[in-house]
Amino acid sequence: MRTRSRQPIRWGLVAMATIWMMVIVPLSAVAAPYAALVMDARSGEVLHASNADTRLHPASLTKMMTLYVVFEAVENGEITLDTPVRISKHAASEPPSKLGLRSGSTIKLRYLIRAAAVKSANDAATALGEAIEGSEAAFARRMNRTAKALGMTRTTFKNAHGLTEEGHLSTARDMTLLGRHLFYDYPEYYNLFSRVTADAGLKTVYHTNRRLLSDYKGADGIKTGYTRAAGFNLTASAERGGERIIATVFGGRSTATRNAKVAELLDLGFRSAPSRVAVNRPTKPVYMGKVGPGPADDGHSVPGGVGKTVRLASAAAVKKSLRPQPRPGEAIVASATPDVGNKQDIEKALLAAAETITEDARPAAQGSIAPSANPKARPQDLVLASVDPTAETTPKAQEPASDPVQKVVTRISTSGGRHWGINVGRYPSQYKAQKVLLKTALNEMETLDGSLRKVVKRSTGFDANFMGLTRETADLACRRLQAKQITCFMIDPGA
């Protein structure tokens, strides 16, 4: 009798366990809907779309926007790569994946960027948001404002890391657009997304997408994401023979199946895209500054590193971009490089543009310059040290600083021969060195006016040099470039 009475209970438990395995487990594995989009990055043409405008959980694809806003802030002088960031209790308490930041500690911004881009560290992403805007809520508002400016019409961000939160949603189309903007708007940072490993200060971190990076020819980014609600997400980019394809997948069932699907979509893109097409670069949004304190903020100042704070400025107070505007003649140079995918065409255009700059900016022959054209330096013409851009340093005798990065100064002495130069790096090809020289010349016209761009072939590469500078000008140019995180050293006349 006892044995018979146990049979129904036993079978009842088995039935309940079976139902649990059949219903609960699959829900956690396949609950996320599938969505995908494939785009030709050069033209912006959509080559394939499936459920691409459905609002879904983006997971850590969110960090693409976090990093985009950080790159914008660095470019416009709100913060530097070497700014020490104080870690809040909130940032340190974020769940994995994480770098392991401790509350109250400080770490350079550059390491937080690497941890967020490569390891997808949630604590690093939150710390980045707080460093830029003072609070994660204010940073999320800036993310949403930036998303709107980029044309991401169906995206709403609630945090900087992408962990599931009500209303934190995006689409495959919007994330593909964001990936394209990262590539074109901040090419100097894009290599972060292809690093298999990176030094994140506290430790070496490993890329969350290193399998696809190593297995798929031409893959060089961008970002993975996973939560139970989102599934396995990925926005990937690859380049082959001058063609670049970006593909996004939402709702993958596993890392392996997601990677296989993305590889399939990238293959589809390369088959469908034309081999030659005019590049239609996306329009970079106008810089609008900080969002400033909102209802959830204290309206005061926030940690901005060791021994200082960063004041929050209202975006409404910024009427126009703080980037310097082109002077007459520069617009012609900027437009001299056609947006085409052919390397030979680009190289010819770069050379033509370089010649244009050289001819327009080259000073008159020394024999035709009267002695009075080189006056001795006056007291206000002395080279100044790097200054705090937030301080009021604009005297009546000089123009307001047009570049918000750590600006070194205004005027220099013109005494001395123009026999000095500067080096801005060594590159694997003459084409790359020439391209960097042109970009640097346009970025730093104030001090490099009249200099000559010269590529010197070495056994290990091609040196990109600016020659024909005075010692004072070379020193000033290097310090200004270094303030913008650009490698530079002086070349003396005997070199």
CA angle, corner 475, sides to 473 and 478, nearest 5? 105
Write the secondary structure of 213-279 as one string of H (helix), E (strand) and C (coil). Answer: HHHCCCEEEEEEEEECCCEEEEEEEEEECCEEEEEEEEEECCHHHHHHHHHHHHHHHHHHCCCCCEC
Which is catalytic among the residues 88, 97, 120, 451? 120
| pLDDT value, residue 474 | 86
SS3 82: coil
Residues ≥6 apart with Cβ < 8 Å to 50: 34, 35, 36, 37, 172
**Residue 18: CA atoms inside 13 Å, Cβ hemisphere, count?**
6
| pLDDT value, residue 246 | 98
Chain Cα centroid distance, residue 290 = 17
Give me the residues of the chain with pLDDT under 70, please: 1-31, 292-417, 494-495
Enumerate the β-bridge partners of residue 311: 301
| pLDDT value, residue 391 | 33
| pLDDT value, residue 289 | 87
- The long-range contacts involving 27-30, CB below 8 angstroms and separated by at least 24 positions, are 28/228, 29/253, 30/231, 30/253
Does pTM surpass 0.75?
A: no
Residue 60 is among the residues annotated as catalytic for this protein: yes
Enter the tokens of residue 393: 């340093």
Which is catalytic among the residues 63, 119, 158, 484? 63
d(Cα 474, Cα 485) in Å, to the nearest integer? Answer: 16
Q: What are 337-360's pLDDT values in tens digits?
A: 333 344 455 445 555 544 443 333
Residue 290 is among the residues annotated as catalytic for this protein: no
Q: Do the strands 301-303 and 204-206 form a parallel or antiparallel pair, or are they unpaired?
A: unpaired
Q: Do the strands 106-108 and 197-199 form a parallel or antiparallel pair, or are they unpaired?
A: unpaired
Residue 415 is among the residues annotated as catalytic for this protein: no
CA R_g for the chain = 27
| pLDDT value, residue 192 | 92
| pLDDT value, residue 279 | 92
One-letter amino acid identity for 113?
I
Q: Do the strands 301-303 and 243-252 form a parallel or antiparallel pair, or are they unpaired?
A: unpaired
Torsion of CA 441, 445, 450, 455, to 10 degrees: -10
| pLDDT value, residue 7 | 55
Helices 136-150 and 122-133 cross at an angle (nearest 10°) of 90
d(Cα 336, Cα 327) in Å, to the nearest integer? Answer: 15
